[in-house]
Chains A and B, each alone.
Chain A
Amino acid sequence: MFIKPYGDTSDDGAVQLSFTLPIADCGKAREAARIYVQKLGFKTASIVHAQALSENFTFFVAYAKTDATLDYDKVEYAEAVAKYMTMDAVNEFIKTHFNRKLVIVGACTGTDAHTVGIDAIMNMKGYDHHFGLERYPMIEAYNMGSQVPNERLLARAKEVKADAVLVSQIVTQKDVHLKNLTELIELAEAEGLRGKLLMIVGGPRVDNKLAKELGYDAGFGTGTFAEHVATFVVKKLYDRLTSGK
């Protein structure tokens, strides 16, 4: 199936854009902005709003139409889990298939000081009326908080014989999260822990694809709840258990 953006008729290819150019606002500037949008590959463009931000910067709003189409069937993306279980179902699943509690350790690592994301997944209270992992009777959850060095997270995982490690990355400026996540994976490999642990990453600029590319088992972005991660963990561990038999 080939697709194009939809404005108000099929395949009109309508797109809205806004951006700033380092030039003073004037007729020539608006024309420059229009040409610039066309240079981006748009067939037609109109500048519907221009506003001087200072003597030498102007903000533009543009509407443009594109010819570009995309074959949707060729797009590859796998969600970490296709269908999520509820908290109760996760607990039943663990009881039935594992006969023990699963151990999960989480932290926001590196210099990142944001705790709210990892707390949303792990703390008793959870997030938006979805309980966190600490609330799961069949999960032993350890939340180490933020600004945790990668070494410490892994040491803790080893100490409590964790089944899965959860790492949160919120700050993404200058790609610090990519550097930090790569370091964590390399450390886990160097310590021979990688094969024994599920390694899962989350944060607003994270998705499953990025996580896989970085060598993680799964990635979760905005709007994640504990049951999403929990479903992935129990299913994946179960797969490993049964395929190992």
Chain B
Amino acid sequence: MTPVKSKLGISRPKVDRARRLAEGIVAPVQEFIEGHTTVTIERATLRLLGADGANADGVPVPNIIASQCGQRLAAGAATVYLNALVKLEKTAPSLNREIEKGLDISGLPLVSPERIREKAAELVKDLDARLAANTERRNARLTQWADKAGSPLIYVIVATGNIYEDVKQAQAAARQGADIVAVIRTTAQSLLDYVPFGPTTEGFGGTYATQENFRIMRAALDEAAEKEGRYIRLVNYCSGLCMPEIAAMGALERLDMMLNDSMYGILFRDINMYRTFTDQHFSRMINAAADIIINTGEDNYLTTSDAVEKAHTVLASQLINEKFAFNAGMPARLMGLGHAFEINPGVKNGFLYEYAQALMAREIFPDHPLKYMPPTKFMTGDIFKGLAMNTLFNFVSKATGQGIHLLGMLTEAIHTPYLQDRHLAIANALYVHNTMADFMGEVEFKKDGIMARRAAQVLDETIEMLAEVKRSGLMNAIETGMFAEIKRPRDGGKGLEGVYEKAQEYYNPVESYLKKKLNIDEKTAA
């Protein structure tokens, strides 16, 4: 990691101690993960091997195959699909069409394991080529337009519910100066145990994440990018019950970032913890292989808890997310660890605490493109004050060198952003970024001043919390409400029935490919 001289006097040994605690917390969970698969991991595998489409009732082909497999999922769904391709001598698209029409592939006589492996090798090679082409295309554009890259990257959200309206708003935002566009997902998609198929125009508070919608928005942003001479990144939500499948779709369609947290689903969506932990690992391997930056969801802790009292829960979660991501073969440059500017604006010196905490995050995670999120909870109908709060947030973001800057909207407390709200937010950010372009290098902080003390305090509290979590174990800690003050029993929540212990003969060529590509066994063994 790049050594940085701490402006806040942050103790390096303490940071190391916190990291070691996080490692100790993650290790036993990782052991569970390695021994298990889930129904959506199997569906994601099928997708990456070519399974796609949906039947007349809208049931996606990967789901149809998974139900045909039944308990055989424990041995991996890939065998069944590969076997059908070989046995019926079909290409993936034509097999998919047969399955849509009702063909059951689970009962077909098995061809030899060699022929299945051969087929797997062929499809995995195609997959690898597709991911490589996507990465190449992205990197080529980023290099070509490197002079236009601002810092931090300006991130805005579209959420109309209709992908075609989203396109208009996204293109307008790109023109105004946005670097990153996230299409917010419709309410409750995270609890669907399938990914809807095709383009969609009816969502609530957001738009369905479908592969076709990804494709439509990708094309729209590429078009806007050519016009602006700036690469525009596309973001979606790799979370919920279909986390790995969304990762797969995003990898295929060249998304650039994915919201992906190791614990968000458990805490805020009541998804079973065994399911989420297992899913996040596989989805992160896919993200890493596709060179997709993840954004973790630590901001959420501060919407239900007090941002001054519970600042350490953010750092604790970042360290846990970091370790899980590392275990999935993800380099630091792809870890957009989250944090947020959510202190009550009425708190005396609240700004100094925000500044200290943001700088602390920067110093503790020097190579990570930190995702910094704006005030939301204390935004009110007073849009004028809201704009002022957003300006201070923009200031801190620039002054601490954040990587991904999610813009606050002056109308946050009222509605999902209007076209003009987004414009005002971007104009504000561009103003701040420019007027204090080199501010960060100009300032130093008082030794033992308010900011240095604040950072030290948060770090101490983080270590204390991590030590406690390690003592009780991560799953117990979640059961007893140590994160976000929300309690989730380990056998509760949605999706537990979709978790399988891997059978002796478990076979997943995509997993093997990902592990090899990401050098995972070597890394975790080291």
| Least distance between B306 CB and chain A CB atoms (Å) | 9
Contact B187 A111 (CB under 8 A): yes
Minimum CB distance partner of A147 in chain B: B270
Contact B172 A54 (CB under 8 A): yes
Contact A54 B304 (CB under 8 A): no
Known contacts A116-B303, A116-B304; is A53 also within 8 Å of B204 by CB?
A: no
Contact A53 B377 (CB under 8 A): no
Contact B413 A204 (CB under 8 A): yes
Contact B304 A20 (CB under 8 A): no
Q: Chain B residues with Cβ under 8 A from A44's Cβ?
A: none
Contact A174 B204 (CB under 8 A): yes
Interface residues on A, range: 20 to 34
Determine if A57 is an interface residue (Cβ-Cβ < 8 Å): yes
Determine if A86 is an interface residue (Cβ-Cβ < 8 Å): no
CA distance A171 to B304 in the complex (A): 17
CA distance A204 to B378 in the complex (A): 12
Contact A53 B304 (CB under 8 A): no
| Least distance between A92 CB and chain B CB atoms (Å) | 30
Q: Chain A residues with Cβ under 8 A from B416's Cβ?
A: 173
Determine if A69 is an interface residue (Cβ-Cβ < 8 Å): no
CA distance A133 to B269 in the complex (A): 26
Contact B420 A222 (CB under 8 A): no
Contact B188 A59 (CB under 8 A): no
Determine if A51 is an interface residue (Cβ-Cβ < 8 Å): yes
Determine if B35 is an interface residue (Cβ-Cβ < 8 Å): no
Query: Which residues of chain A from 110 to 124 have a CB within 8 Å of any chain B CB?
Result: 111, 113, 115-116, 119
| Least distance between B103 CB and chain A CB atoms (Å) | 37
Minimum CB distance partner of A172 in chain B: B415
Minimum CB distance partner of A173 in chain B: B205
CA distance A51 to B177 in the complex (A): 14
Known contacts A54-B172, A204-B413; is A59 also within 8 Å of B304 by CB?
A: no
Contact B175 A54 (CB under 8 A): yes
Q: Which of B187, B303, B381, B419 contacts A53 (CB 8 A)?
A: B419
Minimum CB distance partner of B176 in chain A: A53
Determine if B254 is an interface residue (Cβ-Cβ < 8 Å): no
Contact A51 B380 (CB under 8 A): no
Minimum CB distance partner of B423 in chain A: A53
* B448-486 contact mask (Cβ, 8 Å, vs A): 1 or 0: 000000000000000000000000000000000000000
Contact A53 B172 (CB under 8 A): yes
CA distance A113 to B175 in the complex (A): 34
Query: Which residues of chain A from 3 to 21 have a CB within 8 Å of any chain B CB?
Result: 18-20
Contact B381 A222 (CB under 8 A): yes
Query: Which residues of chain B from 151 to 184 have a CB within 8 Å of any chain A CB?
Result: 168, 171-172, 175-176
Determine if B431 is an interface residue (Cβ-Cβ < 8 Å): no
Q: Chain A residues with Cβ under 8 A from B171's Cβ?
A: 54
* A189-222 contact mask (Cβ, 8 Å, vs B): 1 or 0: 0000000000000001000000000000000001
| Least distance between B348 CB and chain A CB atoms (Å) | 14
CA distance A20 to B423 in the complex (A): 11
Minimum CB distance partner of B415 in chain A: A173
Minimum CB distance partner of A223 in chain B: B380
CA distance A51 to B175 in the complex (A): 12
Contact A54 B204 (CB under 8 A): no
Minimum CB distance partner of A19 in chain B: B420
| Least distance between A52 CB and chain B CB atoms (Å) | 8
| Least distance between A114 CB and chain B CB atoms (Å) | 9
Q: Chain A residues with Cβ under 8 A from B204's Cβ?
A: 173-174, 176
Q: Which of B303, B413, B423 contacts A51 (CB 8 A)?
A: B423
Contact A18 B420 (CB under 8 A): yes
| Least distance between B71 CB and chain A CB atoms (Å) | 32
Contact A53 B413 (CB under 8 A): no
* B343-378 contact mask (Cβ, 8 Å, vs A): 1 or 0: 000000000000000000000000000000000010
CA distance A57 to B165 in the complex (A): 14
Q: Chain B residues with Cβ under 8 A from A20's Cβ?
A: 418-420
CA distance A78 to B419 in the complex (A): 36
Contact B419 A57 (CB under 8 A): yes
Query: Which residues of chain A from 31 to 62 have a CB within 8 Å of any chain B CB?
Result: 51, 53-55, 57, 59
Q: Chain B residues with Cβ under 8 A from A54's Cβ?
A: 168, 171-172, 175-176
Minimum CB distance partner of B175 in chain A: A54
CA distance A174 to B204 in the complex (A): 9
Contact A116 B188 (CB under 8 A): no
| Least distance between B161 CB and chain A CB atoms (Å) | 9
Extra A-B contacts (6), CB below 8 Å, given A20-B419, A20-B420, A53-B419: A53-B172, A53-B175, A54-B168, A111-B187, A113-B187, A204-B413
**A and B contact pairs by CB, cutoff 8 A, 5 listed:** A54-B176, A59-B423, A111-B187, A113-B187, A173-B205
In order of increasing CB-CB distance, the 8 nearest A-B pairs are A54-B172, A59-B420, A20-B420, A53-B423, A54-B175, A20-B419, A53-B172, A53-B419
